[in-house]
Amino acid sequence: MKIEHIEVIEMEMPFDKGISKNDQVGFLNWGKLDFCLIKVETSGGITGWGDAFSFQCRRPVAEVLKHMVIPRVIGKDALDIVNINSELQQALHLFGRYGITMFAISGLDIALWDIAAKAAGLPLYKFLGASSVKNVPAYASLFRYEDPECVRDRVTYAKKLGYQKIKLHEIGIEEIGAARKAAGDGTLLMVDVNCPWTPEEARMMALKMKQFDIHWLEEPINPPEDFDSLAKLAADTGISIAAGENACTAFEFKKMMSSDAISFAQPSVTKVGGITEFKKIATLAEIFGTQLMPHSPYFGPGFLATLHLAQSIPNSGWIERIFIEPEAGLYPKELYNPVKGSFRVLDDIGLGVEPDLDVIKTYRVT
């Protein structure tokens, strides 16, 4: 079954943050989701869908796909996924082992796994080796509101929806304190700060946060690959560190895990090298005894791929649900909403559902 044609579909979709606040600066200035979808058509008549990470880098990722990835794979056997992935990584190693090149490879890889599972007549999770469905817990991943009142409001709403695990993206102590107060003692609270601090700044902030019983502190230090400083921070403060959304390939995760930097590893299937590379990282996590916590603030094929992967990994951690509402759903909206704290996985072949072509038509920009 040959790869005959690949289409790259770029979309921009407005989303609702759930708050009304006038000064929408910084994080709050972000108002549209980027999508870089990959549609792969084969000589066997099977079509697969993938997506490459493209938040605020959509056009460059699409260009890498069009000019560097697609010309290398047209005519290849679509089922030869691991070799295609390996050959692309080797051929393009000069152009970034982290970042846009790997995002593009990830998107293609997801589409090829969708095709392979469809060719086998199986849902992807079964194709990956799991026969029964388990409950995979969800956590609410709140936006950064930079306002204690908004934080209180969103934490209260997340609890009302049944979330028992809530992640903040705040960097201010006042906002984090407001979240703990609204959440109460029984709710797990995580804080993701997105690499703002030096090691010393991170140490001071981590010590201040301890009073709020933070389950993990995510990406406190810049640059994200300073694993030695992360390890020292964890040892000095006793706070658990999560990281991994800024890492690609199993080799980077091996370095992170062997440096004792993290308690929670957060591979992102649309970044690390797709399903092929994610599976290797899951094996590493098992060997190193590091808890997996997939990074998945997505609404496209990458989100579905994460749900299927979670079914096929014995200790898959929790699935992230970014707490925004896109204007339209590529897939039925109920897929993104956990029931009794868990996401369900679809039993149809491949990723389980095809994207809504009308939604693509409405929001595509190329």
List of residues contacting Mg ion (CB under 5 A)? 192, 245
Q: 291-292 and 319-322: which strand pairing?
A: unpaired
Closer residue to Mg ion in complex, CB, 147/192:
192
Residue 351 token pair = 């990723």
Residue 201 token pair = 């700044």
What are the DSSP E strand ranges found in the chain?
3-16, 32-42, 47-52, 136-141, 165-168, 188-192, 214-218, 241-243, 264-265, 291-292, 319-322, 325-326, 342-343
Report how far apart the first and last C-alpha atoms of the chain are (Å, whole number).
28
Closer residue to Mg ion in complex, CB, 306/312:
306
For Mg ion, the nearest residue by Cβ is 192
Minimum distance between the CB of residue 245 and Mg ion, rounded to whole angstroms?
Answer: 5
Closer residue to Mg ion in complex, CB, 245/252:
245
- Separation of CA 343 from chain center: 15
Residue 311 token pair = 């079914």
Closer residue to Mg ion in complex, CB, 170/192:
192
Closer residue to Mg ion in complex, CB, 196/332:
196
Minimum distance between the CB of residue 155 and Mg ion, rounded to whole angstroms?
Answer: 18
Backbone angles phi, psi at 262, to 5 degrees: -130, 150
What's the CA angle centered on 274, arms 103 and 339, to 5 degrees? 110
For tokens 């099977």, the residue is 46
List the beta bridge partners of residue 36: 10, 52
Minimum distance between the CB of residue 184 and Mg ion, rounded to whole angstroms?
Answer: 24
Minimum distance between the CB of residue 3 and Mg ion, rounded to whole angstroms?
Answer: 33
DSSP 340: T
Closer residue to Mg ion in complex, CB, 268/316:
268
Minimum distance between the CB of residue 43 and Mg ion, rounded to whole angstroms?
Answer: 40
Minimum distance between the CB of residue 230 and Mg ion, rounded to whole angstroms?
Answer: 14
Closer residue to Mg ion in complex, CB, 267/273:
267
Closer residue to Mg ion in complex, CB, 192/252:
192
Closer residue to Mg ion in complex, CB, 68/195:
195
User: CA of 89: how far to CAs of 49, 96, 101, 272, in Å?
Assistant: 20, 9, 9, 11
Which SS3 state, helix, strand or coil, does residue 294 take?
Answer: coil
Minimum distance between the CB of residue 68 and Mg ion, rounded to whole angstroms?
Answer: 27
Minimum distance between the CB of residue 246 and Mg ion, rounded to whole angstroms?
Answer: 8
User: CA of 13: how far to CAs of 31, 35, 193, 195, 337, in Å?
Assistant: 8, 8, 25, 26, 19
Task: Kindly tell me the burial class for residue 164, based on how many C-beta atoms sit within 10 Å of its own C-beta (0-12, 13-18, 19 or more).
Answer: middle
